[in-house]
Amino acid sequence: MNTTAIKAIKLACRENGSDKVYHVTIEPMGILFAVNFSYGRRGSALNCGTKTNVPTTLAKCEAIFDKLVREKVAKGYVAQADCSQGCPIPVVANATDTGIRPQLCNAIDEKRLAELMDDHDWMMSEKFDGRRLMVKKEGNHVYGINRRGLEIPLTESIGNDVRSLVDSGHVLDGEQVGDTYHIFDIIQGPGIIPESTLSERLMILKELHGGIPEDSQLHIVGWVASTTLKHEWLERMRKRGAEGVVFKHLNSTYQPGRPNSGGDWLKYKFVETCSCIVGKGREGKNSISVWLCEGDDRICVGNVTLKVNDIIPPLNSVVEVRYLYCHKGGSLFQPVLIGPRDDIPREECTLDQLKYKPE
């Protein structure tokens, strides 16, 4: 969601053991406006969408916004008091561009994964499923920097913990998951110059580890470089249901942005597949819904957006879908259509195929 949102609300539902959030914003689109939303489990990466495929007037957006909020409230959602004026994200009318941009990863395949596992010049660490966040301390002022380089407020706990950990002039890089800030790099501070290698920066970051109390919201991300430990960690993270792993060249310098291909920061996501029954897709969208069997019932586990050249499979046929993970009672995360499975009967498209993200 855009930090220039002119109207926003954060809703949450904790009925029947669930812990879900639903965010709604009205955001400017040139001279017109759009109603955008995001939803999912608290603390996880949220699914995003829009209620206005074509930007429209502010009056129409406000009507759509109010109707959507009423519908969610009727389903048990309540507005949250822990955010300023109901805003689901830090909203800054004239957000300051800090001039700082994060270094981003390109994805790799199994072949490249195998190569990096045996290369001691590349370290490996866990990839977290959260929000990319850099944190800077200037004097006693601590603030966040999003992936667009804009200054954003921090939660009070993270801000206080960073304030007590580092001196003025430090810039940390990491991922926020819920109320925890996972720090994987330090890109500005005493002893750090543009030519500082990742290995040198990690040594400086390691020195900060001892200054973090047990009850802190800060976590220094661990890493390994030896082949043996990489394989041990990889297997452990697969079993634990982690999102994936990140590889970084130890002799590389910090390079903001994402190269067109390759690069010194690479990521590999763990994915799963399941056989699903095809249902009708979303109105006006090039998509299908996918269903699984639980006893005599069929359960919808989400929608899969089709590529331009994909042939829409027939209703009630069986297809193979690749996905990252699934939440109990939720939908597949990042589903992608692989293709038809004429060799699998519908009865075998059962719910117990799914890989669930750990609570």
How does pLDDT run across 179-197, given as a tens digit for each residue? 899 999 999 999 999 999 9
pLDDT at 3: 44
Residue-wise pLDDT for 281-309, tens only, equals 888 888 999 999 988 888 999 999 998 87
3-state helix/strand/coil string of 141-199: EEEEECCCCEEECCCHHHHHHHHHHCCCCCEEEEEEECCEEEEEEEEECCCCCCCCEHH
Tell me the longest C-alpha to C-alpha distance in the chain: 65
**What is the average pLDDT value for the chain, to the nearest integer?**
86
Show the domains of the chain with their CATH numbers: 7-86 (2.20.140), 106-269 (3.30.470.30), 272-353 (2.40.50.140)
Question: What sign results for the dihedral spanned by CA atoms 300, 301, 302, 307?
Answer: negative
- pTM value is 0.60
More confident residue, 9 or 42: 9
User: From residue 161, how far is each of 60, 93, 150, 153, 183 by CA, in Å?
Assistant: 43, 27, 21, 14, 12
pLDDT at 17: 66
Structure tokens at 354: 């799914």
